[in-house]
């Protein structure tokens, strides 16, 4: 899959592509990331990409013309690569714009994108992007959450990381992402490692005995219950969604009833 990123700050992406476990996805080209510096498509000596908003108001708005040229170059590049590879031309890659007004990124969307052909990631800055560009080109608007960032680069990096780690061979254990939070609609429970007894000022802290039992069924059930309990405390909306989707077993429901979760 290919992601084309239009940004004022391509240097923010470069360290992410060569460090950490997800670099395997980029090195293998399972996730092919192309960076497009917006200023390369601006006119004039100063390569200006923003101006004051019509109608007044604070901040600056990214200009339409450099963005139009950048998007045209991205599409031409994608079509040329598809032609040189001898592959059939696919439908136009979706253009994603990152904004606080967009749909919140969740694991369901990440899973969908991880199995798809990629996208064009449009990273805004300042007060926003000329609406005419958004109306003409943007297919999806996404947000990290109900807060405001300085630009779209951090959400774009988060999306790339989430997609990259789902590619085959990227994680050390192929089952790792299957046990992540939200993979089954619930939050992931706690994890423990060595030492068996952790020395602290409050005395030794042991790990839960069930994890030393060697009984895989009991361990699996304990982990499920920890996940259910954590989700009930922190995200009861996910419990309600799991019930509506009939993802909870009778044993799950008995456990939640004992916690007085209805």
User: Taking 60 as the threshold, does the pLDDT of residue 179 lie above it?
Assistant: no
For 18-70, write each residue's pLDDT tens digit.
998 899 999 999 999 999 999 999 998 889 999 999 999 899 999 999 999 99
Instruction: Confirm whether 106 is a catalytic residue.
Output: no
Residue 134 and residue 47 share a domain? yes
Q: What is the CATH number of the domain that holds 132?
A: 3.40.1280.10
- Point out the catalytic residue in the list 68, 141, 180, 225: 180
Instruction: Confirm whether 112 is a catalytic residue.
Output: no
Summarize the confidence of residues 172-200 as an average pLDDT: 75
* CB within 8 Å of 153: residues ≥ 6 apart: 7, 9, 12, 13, 123
Residue 247 and residue 157 share a domain? no
Residue 224 and residue 107 share a domain? no
- 2 forms beta bridges with 32, 118
Residue 140 and residue 11 share a domain? yes
Domain of residue 49, residue span: 2-164
Rg (CA), the chain: 23
- How far apart CA 107 and CA 97 sit, in angstroms, is 18
Residue 82 and residue 200 share a domain? no
- How far apart CA 71 and CA 68 sit, in angstroms, is 5
Residue 9 and residue 111 share a domain? yes
- Point out the catalytic residue in the list 100, 161, 225, 253: 100
Total structural domains in the chain? Answer: 2
- Point out the catalytic residue in the list 23, 32, 53, 127: 127
**Residues 13 and 7: beta-carbon distance below 8 Å:** yes
Q: What is the DSSP letter of 38?
A: G
Do the domain assignments include residue 171?
no
Q: What is the CATH number of the domain that holds 211?
A: 1.10.1270.20
Sheet strand arrangement including 32-37: 32-37, 2-7, 118-122, 95-104, 140-143
Instruction: Confirm whether 165 is a catalytic residue.
Output: yes
Residue 142 and residue 39 share a domain? yes
Instruction: Confirm whether 206 is a catalytic residue.
Output: no
pTM: 0.83
User: Taking 70 as the threshold, does the pLDDT of residue 86 lie above it?
Assistant: no
Residue 30 and residue 144 share a domain? yes
> 3, 17, 128: which is closest to 62 by C-alpha?
128
């Amino acid at each position: 899959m290919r992601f084309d990123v239009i940004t004022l700050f391509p240097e923010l992406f470069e360290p992410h592509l060569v460090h950490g476990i997800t670099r395997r996805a980029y090195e293998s080209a399972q996730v092919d990331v192309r960076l497009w510096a917006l200023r390369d498509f601006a006119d004039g000596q100063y390569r200006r990409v923003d101006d004051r908003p019509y109608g007044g108001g604070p901040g600056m708005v990214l200009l339409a013309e450099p963005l139009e040229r950048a998007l045209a170059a991205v599409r031409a590049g994608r079509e040329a690569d598809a032609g040189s590879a001898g592959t059939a031309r696919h439908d136009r890659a979706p253009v994603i714009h990152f904004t606080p007004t967009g749909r919140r990124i969740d694991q369901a969307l990440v899973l969908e994108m991880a199995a798809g052909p990629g996208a064009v990631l449009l990273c805004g800055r300042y007060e926003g992007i000329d609406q005419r560009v958004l109306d003409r080109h943007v297919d999806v608007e996404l947000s990290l959450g109900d807060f405001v960032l300085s630009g779209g680069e951090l959400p774009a990096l988060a999306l790339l990381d989430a997609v990259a780690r789902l590619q085959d061979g990227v994680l050390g254990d192929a089952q790792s992402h299957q046990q992540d939070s939200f993979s089954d609609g619930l939050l992931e429970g706690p994890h423990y490692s060595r030492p068996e007894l952790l020395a602290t000022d409050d005395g030794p802290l042991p790990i839960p005995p069930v994890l030393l039992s060697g009984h895989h069924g009991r361990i699996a059930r304990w982990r499920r219950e920890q996940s259910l309990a954590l989700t009930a405390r922190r995200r009861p909306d996910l419990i309600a969604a799991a019930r509506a989707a009939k993802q909870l077993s009778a044993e799950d429901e008995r456990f939640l009833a004992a916690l007085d979760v209805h």
